[in-house]
Structure formats: C-alpha cells, structure tokens
Amino acid sequence: MSAVRDKVVDFVDVEAKLAARSLKWGVDPDRRPARETALGPGQAGVIPAWVAEHDLGPPPAVRDALRRLADLPDVGYTRRSKDVGPAFARWAEQRHGWCPDPGLIVPTSDVMQGIWACVAAFSGAGDGVILSPPMYPPFHELCVSTQRSELIWPLRRTRQGWVHDIDELASLLESHPHSRILLLCSPQNPTGRIYGLESLQRIVELADEHDLVIVSDEIHADLVFPGVRHHPLLSLPSAAGRTVSLCSPGKTFAVSGLRTAVAVFGSEEMLEGFRKVPAQLLGDVSRAGSEAAIVAWETGGEWLDSLLELLGGHRRRVGEIVSGFPDVGYHPPEATFLAWLDLSATALGADPAETLLRRARLRLFPGHEFGIGGEGHVRLNFGTSSALLEEILRRLSEALRG
C-alpha cells in the first residue's frame, strides 16, 4: 500500500456528504433536507458539527474491501463474523499492549446493543445502574427501558478539568446496596477525559467489594492524544472477573453505519453470564460490517496515526480560538474529536446550541441532553477538514462577539 493511501486526506466533499444522507449531514433540526441548509463553508446553510462521527471517511483499504464485497456474485449467509474477534485482539495488542482472548470476544451490532445486553444479563428489574453524567445522551434511556434504578455518580469540573470523586462512588455504593452495574465511558464522552490507572484500579476494588459489574464503553479508545495513555479496563488483571469492555471501529474509522462492535470478556464466567441473553436477540454482525472491521483493524494503523496528527492540530486550533473568549469554559480533551464548551457565562442564553443554530447556522450538540453538568454547554465536533473547521470557528467567534 502506498504512503499516500496510508494517510488521511484533509478534505471534505460537502456535496458528497449531502448526497450520502447520513444522520449528521442528512437533516436539520426541523427535518428539512440538508441541501436546503447544510451548504458548506462561506455559504448560508447550516454546518453540522454535532454527531460524534468524523467527516474524513473510512481508510481507502476499507472502501476497497466494500467494493469487492459489492462485486461478489453471492452475498448470502456467511460465517465471516467469526474473524472479527481475532482481528480485534490483534489490534488491541498492537495499539494498546492489551492481549484479549479471542475466544472471549462476542461480536455485536454496535456498542449500544452490547451495553443493553449486559444490563439484561447481569442485573434484574429494580437493580441499580450507576451513570456518570454528563455523558452520551442515549445512556439516559437505559434504566427507563430496562426497568432498572438509575443512580448518579457525576463528574465534577475542577480547574484541571473534569474528574470523578472515587470517595463519592464508595459512598454511593454503601448507601445503595442494590447497585449491580457501573456504566463507565472510557475515554469519556463528552469531556474527552482519560481515566488514570490509579483511578481505574480503585474503581475495580470497589466493584469487588460491592459485587458490581463494570460495563466499560471504550469506543473512543483509539483516539487518544500524545501525553496521555488509555488503559483498557480489562488490561488490569483484577478487572477480569467483573468487567465487560465494549469496543468498535466505528468512531476511529468512520464506519458506524455498518454496525459492528465487540463485547470483550476477561473470564469464562463473565462470558457465560452474558450468554443468558439469547443469541437470537443479538443476531449476527453483517457481512459488510465484518469486512470493514477486519480490514480496518488489520491495515489501519498508519492511517490512524495520520488522523490523530490532523485531529491534534484541530484540537490546538479550537483552543487558540476559544482562548480569546474568557467567558467560555474549555478543557482540551485528552481523547476523542469532541470539544466540550461551557457557554453558560456568555450572552448566548440558556440553550446556546439553539442560539448558535439560529444566529450562526451552526449545529452543535446541546449540552443539557448529556444530563447533570451539561447545562449551558455545547459539544463541538472538530473531526472534519481544516477548511470546514475554520468556517465553524469563524461562525462560533462571530456569535460569541455578537
């Protein structure tokens, strides 16, 4: 493979994005066709920077694999998904120094399916599920849809960034002995926080003391910036007996629509517990999703390195612009391509995302949808081309000045 094909191209074809009709680019908040609104840099339309999906597209090798699949004379039933687990295990060892057992990896359609299945397998109606807002909005539907009891262990904002108070978790577990599941988002969405090794070890200790199952969403694990390290929770030997890690190529390689992920277990006992969920309810990963995941994990290392270099520059650029507005609260993310901006002290009102959409034709994710701690915030996706990011930041700056 040529060096050029192993690098991200810093370009977004807006017309192609509109034609693809993805969720991010396909409709505006009023459900009008994107062509009426999302017209690109320098024009009057809405620029979408909300959904946590980068705009740089899949690596060329993944695109080629999908083309070959489309050209096959037969795309009937297949067992290709059996190769997904081993491909992920090799990737995890290469990128994170973590060696999961391929025999303890179960493909799922996406991370969300894996999380809901874990809650069904490892808890019962009325059991406590611990959430840590602000966090990915669909997680707030988890307890309602499964008849579990929602417990809150919130992130706290400090001068150094967003942190968890481990002692607060200990107190919560003492006062709620029916707690059964801790849903961890690592790296954290929307703040981009990385959990330190000491914190993870203490969380596992508390889980042991209180018979807690940790469900660790690690979908952003590959998107970590220099200076910090992501520790897969199952890389801690003490976590093996009570942890499920959910991982996916979706965020890294922009293939979320192909619906492929893995649930990774650290012990046979945990895997057997998960098997309480009938396989027919989980289904199987599609042929296209399997091919995309396998090729991405087997060939995508250099391409990912170039993506991280580009995103690192974008992260710095967001910081440069935001630093010119003292009323904006911002801690650069340690991971992800998401900027979590506190606009509560600005003149943009109680719902700054709505104001930015109306004034600047800029669609960001409303912070209040992330739960406690998200009020007055917006989440900005800087995973796009440099040119489009400059237009996003220009519109944001003008709105803040106005």
Question: Are 306 and 259 in the same domain?
Answer: no
Q: Which pLDDT belongs to residue 32?
A: 44
Share of the chain above pLDDT 90, in %: 91
- pLDDT confidence bin for 2, thresholds 50/70/90: low
CA–CA distance from 13 to each of 19, 41, 258, 303 (Å)?
A: 10, 11, 21, 19
Q: What is the rounded distance in angstroms from the CA atom of residue 190 to the CA atom of residue 375? A: 13
pLDDT per residue over 106-152, tens digit each?
999 999 999 999 999 999 999 999 999 999 999 999 999 999 999 99
Are the CB atoms for 385 and 11 separated by under 8 Å? yes
In a domain, 192, yes or no: yes
Kindly give the pairing relationship between strand 149-152 and strand 128-131: parallel
pLDDT per residue over 148-167, tens digit each?
999 999 999 998 899 999 99
pLDDT per residue over 197-217, tens digit each?
999 999 999 999 999 999 999
Question: Are 24 and 140 in the same domain?
Answer: no
Q: Which pLDDT belongs to residue 256?
A: 96
In a domain, 266, yes or no: yes
| Arithmetic mean of pLDDT over the chain | 94
In a domain, 82, yes or no: yes
pLDDT per residue over 167-189, tens digit each?
999 999 999 999 999 999 999 99
Where residue 88 falls (left for φ over 0; alpha for ψ -120 to 50; beta otherwise) is alpha
pLDDT per residue over 91-105, tens digit each?
999 999 999 999 999
- As a whole number, mean pLDDT of residues 269-287 equals 94
Q: What is the rounded distance in angstroms from the CA atom of residue 392 to the CA atom of residue 395? A: 5
Nearest in space to 204 (alpha carbons), one of 178, 166, 175: 166
Question: Are 261 and 178 in the same domain?
Answer: yes
CATH assignment at residue 235 = 3.40.640.10
pLDDT per residue over 24-44, tens digit each?
997 554 444 333 444 444 345
Are the CB atoms for 348 and 399 separated by under 8 Å? yes
For residue 383, count other CB atoms closer than 10 A to its CB.
24
- pLDDT confidence bin for 1, thresholds 50/70/90: very low
CA–CA distance from 205 to each of 98, 169, 199, 225 (Å)?
A: 20, 11, 10, 28
Question: Are 321 and 287 in the same domain?
Answer: no
Q: 153: domain range?
A: 74-299
Q: Which of 239, 267, 299 is the last residue of a domain?
A: 299
pLDDT per residue over 296-331, tens digit each?
999 999 999 999 999 999 999 999 999 999 999 999
pLDDT per residue over 343-381, tens digit each?
999 999 999 999 999 999 999 999 999 999 999 999 999
Nearest in space to 395 (alpha carbons), one of 134, 29, 39, 15: 39
Q: Taking the model in full, what pTM does it have?
A: 0.94
- pLDDT confidence bin for 5, thresholds 50/70/90: confident
Q: Which pLDDT belongs to residue 112?
A: 97
Q: Which pLDDT belongs to residue 232?
A: 98
Q: Which pLDDT belongs to residue 402?
A: 85
Q: How far is CA 212 from the centre of its chain?
A: 23
* Structure token digits, residue 344: 């509560």
Q: Which of 299, 334, 366 is the last residue of a domain?
A: 299
Task: Report the domain count for the chain.
Answer: 2
- As a whole number, mean pLDDT of residues 54-76 equals 97
Question: Are 85 and 226 in the same domain?
Answer: yes
